[in-house]
Amino acid sequence: MRKPNLLFLMCDQLSAYALYNSACFTPNIDKLRGRSVTFDKAYTVNAVCSPARASLMTGLLPHNHGVLWVTHNADEDQGCLREEHPHFAQILKDSGYITGYFGKWHVEKSKMPKRFGWQYTTEDFFKEGIDLPYKAPEDSFIVKKTLREPEGYDKNRLFYGVRACGDQGMKMYNPVICGERFLESRRSEDPPWVCMVSTQEPHDPFVCTKEYFERYNVNDIELHPSCFDTLENQPYLYKKAGRAWANLTLFEKKEAAACYYAIITQIDKLFGRLIDKLDEIGQRENTIIILTADHGELLGAKGLYSKNISASELIYNIPLIISAPGCCSNAISHAKLTLADVCQTLLDLCGMPLIETGDSRSGKIVLENPRKYDKEFDCCYAEYYGGRIMLTQRIIWKGSYKYVFNGFDKDELYDLEKDPYELKNCIDDPSYGEVLKQMVSILWQKLRETKDKSLLESDYPILRLAPYGPEI
């Protein structure tokens, strides 16, 4: 039996909320969902690009693959990928797959995907000269909003904007065109191939084009309910981090959201081109299509934007849409899969042996029967080590509950069934005392399973910061 191809569509900072619950216009993605299983409880393992992407490639959690922060903001000896671990592209390449990676990398410091099993990259399909996309000139902005607070920071930090330019003025254009050309080169049915297209958008600053911005009425945009959260009983760090956006007007918050949605609509159009190309080359029926993101976007939740600080669902709950030959279509699963699980799932779907680790598992059986295995995939875990400023968070989801260990700040406990927008932190509510104890116990169990020594071996008295210890 011929092995399936794989078209992997990857975004940076795309939240599940934007695709599933907002007014964002995504006709091509909606059409793809009609032929796919949508995992509405999928989670990233980390709130920033590099650790999350390295987990996708290796099936390992950040504390095991070594990339704890974004690679370009760490010293040379920090945030380094441990290269002794196998990568899913290398496994597929070694088994006969042709592999192509186009777009944002941010997995490790060398910026050389070919070292990790990717045979073709951007330079192989996008030549300089007439092929090079133009960059929109600075004076093409017709809307431009910068951040000015707190005092003493850069007053020209771009937050969002609208430009009078076409698709070629956006960074997403280049990798999509490369992906199209790679697919064109794969018209032959053999050998099987993997094409990964990774856009930098909709990462902030939220700069969109006039064409897509005009599809949204700013005044009609509905903000996420937690945008108006007073942060009562929340970690103090969230209030401190929100100073940069504290003076935004309601209209500016809506305008920022409109720009974010407009970018996603443009991504939808370009991803639609890639899916249409599959039909054109006659490869659709034997191709796995997956759409996901490294992490989400706060978009004003708890008064914050971007990602990093905050364990909000808007950051950690990521889109995960998988269309695979022989699997269910037009289905929704509540199974909790992580970005590390995606690595194992794709290997399994392609008939490859799984990576030996306790950090991740394959979700193939869920794709075959999306609702049957919800209880078996009812728990997942994430970890965060800070971006440029180190801090510690561990997050555990179990059933409808979510516990956040915040290290040196107030912990969080949410009942997501009753409180999907995380407006009530139940950490000090005595009626949730037994739930808290159970969630902390599950957290320690996960730390043991994944050999997270940084917390397991922190028995020094002043570092006993969890509500209960590992022997609970």
154-158, 314-318, 364-368: least confident range: 154-158
Beta-bridged to residue 397, according to DSSP, are: 380, 402
Q: Do residues 255 and 219 lie in contact, with contact meaning Cβ atoms separated by under 8 Å?
A: no
- At 129 the pLDDT is 43
Q: What is the pLDDT of residues 330-377, one digit of tens each?
A: 999 999 999 999 999 999 999 999 999 999 999 999 999 998 887 889
- At 110 the pLDDT is 84
Which DSSP string corresponds to 213-272?
HTTS-GGGPPPPGGGG---TTS-HHHHHHGGGGTT--HHHHHHHHHHHHHHHHHHHHHHH
> DSSP alpha helices (H): ranges in 126-249?
173-184, 210-213, 236-241
CA atoms within 13 A on the CB side of 7: 28
| Res 428 pLDDT > 80 | yes
- The arithmetic mean of pLDDT across residues 221-239, rounded, is 94
CA distances from 302 to 153, 291, 313 (A): 22, 27, 11
Q: What is the pLDDT of residues 105-133, one digit of tens each?
A: 989 988 899 999 999 998 888 765 445 55
- At 150 the pLDDT is 85
- At 463 the pLDDT is 87
Element housing 388 (H / E): none
Q: Report the Cα–Cα distance between both ends of the chain, in Å, rounded.
A: 50
Q: What is the pLDDT of residues 193-220, one digit of tens each?
A: 999 999 999 999 999 999 999 999 999 9
Q: Do residues 266 and 29 lie in contact, with contact meaning Cβ atoms separated by under 8 Å?
A: no
When pLDDT is cut at 50, 70 and 90, the band that residue 432 belongs to is: very high
Backbone angles phi and psi of 145, in degrees to 5: -120, 125
**Residue where the block lists tokens 């007439």:** 130
Question: Do strands 141-147 and 157-163 pair parallel, antiparallel, or not at all (unpaired)?
Answer: antiparallel
Q: What is the pLDDT of residues 297-312, one digit of tens each?
A: 999 999 999 998 899 9
Beta-bridged to residue 208, according to DSSP, are: 162
- The arithmetic mean of pLDDT across residues 430-446, rounded, is 98
- At 130 the pLDDT is 46
Cis (ω within 30 of 0) for the bond into 150? yes
| Packing angle of the helix pair 250-280, 173-184 (nearest 10 deg) | 10
**Residue where the block lists tokens 């990462």:** 203
Q: Do residues 55 and 343 lie in contact, with contact meaning Cβ atoms separated by under 8 Å?
A: yes
**Domains of the chain and any CATH numbers:** 5-374 (3.40.720.10), 389-471 (3.30.1120.10)
Q: Do residues 47 and 326 lie in contact, with contact meaning Cβ atoms separated by under 8 Å?
A: no
Backbone angles phi and psi of 260, in degrees to 5: -60, -45
For the chain, what is the radius of gyration of the CA atoms? 22
- At 275 the pLDDT is 98
Token pair of 82 as six digits: 């441990």
Q: Do residues 17 and 314 lie in contact, with contact meaning Cβ atoms separated by under 8 Å?
A: yes
| pTM (2 d.p.) | 0.96
CA distances from 451 to 82, 88, 110, 405 (A): 16, 22, 27, 17
- At 94 the pLDDT is 98
Token pair of 115 as six digits: 């070292």
| Res 454 pLDDT > 80 | yes
Average pLDDT value for the chain:
93
- The arithmetic mean of pLDDT across residues 247-253, rounded, is 97
CA distance 284 to 269: 18
Q: 243 burial class (0-12, 13-18, 19+ CB within 10 angstroms)?
A: middle
Closest CA to 393 of 451, 461, 334, 452: 452
